[in-house]
């Protein structure tokens, strides 16, 4: 049985079960990478797969530079595919048997202030020079993520109906819990987002529902956003981490650095537990020291 044929059957089965498009794309991307490696090993048939081969593939990925997080993601996808093979009676043993996940460094990735300033100045210059759809959208997108700390999955679901200019709020609906949360919308960011809205009104007969869209008016997908970040990082030669999550970490760090208390930051970051927020203090302790030196209560006493 050809490996690629059974992979297509697996994807069709998961699509039928209602697996989200982003998850399907993740499997497709993984299968493409795995198949390229298998091709180099002259392996095409399912009967030739085994746990030892799976471990060799993952080890080679690490040697090529995959970090622990990427390794564990690939292991998770391979384990899920393997479990399906066993449940369907196609194979008898898990292809990931006795393969353990690697220990991850959970320190949040963060963009440096200098790199963020470089990004914004570049996008601002592009917008003034070209004034194109993408130059306007990209500038507004970076400002929005930096000024709200939204997760990429939250941004992806956001519509214009969720933006309340009158009360200066952005409403976030949790798809699973159906719980609604909100994030304050600053005056400066509100002006930029309103400018983006007016631009969309001029471009389209009817403004698209999603806050950030493609030139065709379709939602700017998670993969599209991530690819935009990767291209910009490469183009500008950014050395620090640069991703939507890195901007979220920057948002949290700056709140702490500028004197917001833990409870305030927890609410603004929408952390379910305050212990998650507390972790950031340890991660950024060296940077928060400057804030302590400036705002230390002893300054006025001694």
Q: What is the pLDDT of residue 302?
A: 56
Specify the pLDDT at position 181.
85
- How confident is the model at residue 259, as a pLDDT? 79
Mean pLDDT by 10 residues, the chain (302 residues): 93 92 91 95 92 94 88 94 94 91 76 93 93 94 95 92 93 69 91 96 94 95 93 93 92 86 88 83 64 56 55
What is the 3-class SS of 186-231, one letter each residue?
CHHHHHHHHHHHHHHHHHCCCCCCECCECCCCCECCHHHHHHHHHH
Q: Alpha-carbon torsion 11, 17, 21, 26, what sign? A: negative
- What domains can you pick out in the chain, each with its CATH number? 3-87 (1.10.150), 113-295 (1.10.443.10)
**Token pair in block for residue 251:** 């948002």
- C-alpha closest to that of 245 among 278, 216, 280, 281: 280
> Are the C-beta atoms of residues 274 and 266 closer than 8 Å to each other?
yes
Residue whose C-alpha is closest to residue 33's, from 75, 1, 84: 75
pLDDT score at 293: 59
Helices 244-257 and 274-283 cross at an angle (nearest 10°) of 80
pLDDT at 283: 66
144: closest CA among 128, 160, 166, 167? Answer: 160
Give CA separation, 11 vs 18, 23, 24, 29, 84, in Å.
11, 10, 7, 12, 11
State the pLDDT at residue 301: 54
Per DSSP, the chain holds a count of helices (H) and strands (E) of: 13, 3
Residues 6+ apart with CB under 8 A from 254: none
What does the chain come to in residues? 302
Cα separation of 214 and 172, whole Å? 21
CA distance 2 to 44: 6
User: What's residue 297's pLDDT?
Assistant: 57
* Nearest alpha carbon to residue 186 among 208, 169, 203, 204: 169
Q: Please say whether the beta carbons of 149 and 248 come within 8 A.
A: yes
């Amino acid at each position: 049985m050809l490996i690629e044929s059974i992979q297509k059957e697996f994807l069709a089965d998961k699509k039928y079960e209602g697996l989200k498009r982003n998850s399907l794309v993740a499997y497709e991307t993984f299968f493409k990478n795995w198949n390229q490696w298998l091709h180099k090993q002259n392996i095409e048939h399912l009967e030739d797969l085994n746990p030892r081969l799976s471990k060799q593939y993952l080890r080679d990925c690490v040697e090529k530079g995959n970090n622990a997080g990427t390794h564990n993601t690939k292991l998770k996808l391979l384990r899920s595919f393997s479990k399906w093979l066993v449940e369907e009676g196609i194979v008898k043993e898990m292809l990931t048997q006795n393969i353990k996940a690697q220990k991850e460094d959970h320190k949040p990735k963060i963009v440096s202030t200098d790199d963020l300033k470089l990004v914004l100045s570049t996008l601002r210059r592009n917008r003034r020079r070209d004034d194109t759809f993408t130059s306007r959208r990209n500038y507004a997108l970076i400002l929005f993520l930096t000024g709200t700390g939204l997760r990429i999955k939250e941004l992806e679901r956001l519509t214009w109906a969720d933006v309340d200019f009158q009360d200066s709020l952005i409403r976030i609906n949790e798809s699973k819990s159906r719980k609604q949360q909100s994030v304050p919308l600053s005056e400066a960011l509100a002006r930029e987002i309103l400018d983006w809205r007016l631009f969309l009104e001029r471009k389209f007969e009817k403004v698209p529902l999603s806050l950030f869209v493609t030139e065709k008016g379709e939602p700017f997908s998670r993969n599209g956003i991530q690819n935009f970040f990767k291209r910009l990082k490469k183009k500008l030669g950014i050395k620090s981490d640069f991703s939507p999550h890195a901007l979220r970490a920057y948002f949290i760090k700056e709140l702490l650095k500028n004197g917001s208390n833990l409870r305030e930051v927890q609410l603004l970051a929408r952390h379910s537990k305050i212990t998650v927020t507390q972790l950031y203090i340890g991660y950024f302790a060296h940077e928060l020291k400057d804030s302590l030196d400036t705002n230390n209560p002893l300054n006025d006493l001694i």
